[in-house]
């Protein structure tokens, strides 16, 4: 049947551990949503799933049409940009705290039962 090989990552088993561990997936915990590369596009994608943000975007686009223009074009963008920026900073800080917790959990010392 199926069996599992457990090799301690200690002293004289280190070479064997490195050779065998390349064959399997790691078991690191990752609860973060974003990486540095996908933060901006993914965050904007998530924020525009909110109806209020779509409404403000609609007002901005509508104000760029000369016949309907009520205010200066830049002024109508301020509430939307402000809300998007504040939420992006909040999401970034939350994700960074999750990253720190993941790093702390992944670097915990564990005990291995050995007969």
Whether 88 and 43 have beta carbons less than 8 Å apart is answered as yes
C-alpha–C-alpha distance, residues 89 and 84, integer Å: 9
Find the domain containing 48 and state its range: 29-107
**Average pLDDT over all residues of the chain:** 84
Give the tens place of pLDDT for each residue, 94-104.
Answer: 999 999 999 99
The tally of domains found in the chain comes to 1
Mean pLDDT of 79-97: 95
**Inside any domain, residue 90:** yes
Inside any domain, residue 71: yes
**Confidence check: pLDDT of 11 > 70:** no
Q: Is residue 84 part of a domain?
A: yes
Q: Comparing 101 with 24, which gets the higher pLDDT? A: 101
- Assess if residue 56 is contained within a domain: yes
In a domain, 101, yes or no: yes
Q: Does residue 59 sit within a domain?
A: yes
Tell me how far apart the alpha carbons of residues 103 and 82 are, in angstroms, rounded to a whole number: 32
Q: What is the pLDDT of residues 36-53, one digit of tens each?
A: 999 999 999 999 999 999
Statement: the pTM of the whole predicted model exceeds 0.75: no
């Amino acid at each position: 049947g199926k069996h599992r090989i457990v090799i301690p990552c200690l002293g004289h088993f280190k070479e064997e551990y490195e050779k065998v561990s390349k064959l399997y997936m790691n078991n690191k915990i990752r609860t973060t949503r974003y990486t540095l590369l996908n933060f901006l596009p993914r965050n904007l994608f998530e924020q525009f799933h909110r109806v209020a943000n779509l409404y403000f975007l609609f007002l901005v686009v509508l104000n760029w049409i000369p016949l309907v223009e009520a205010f200066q074009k830049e002024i109508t963008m301020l509430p939307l940009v402000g809300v998007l920026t504040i939420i992006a900073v909040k999401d970034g800080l939350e994700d960074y705290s999750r990253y720190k917790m993941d790093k702390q959990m992944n670097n915990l010392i564990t005990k291995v039962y050995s007969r």
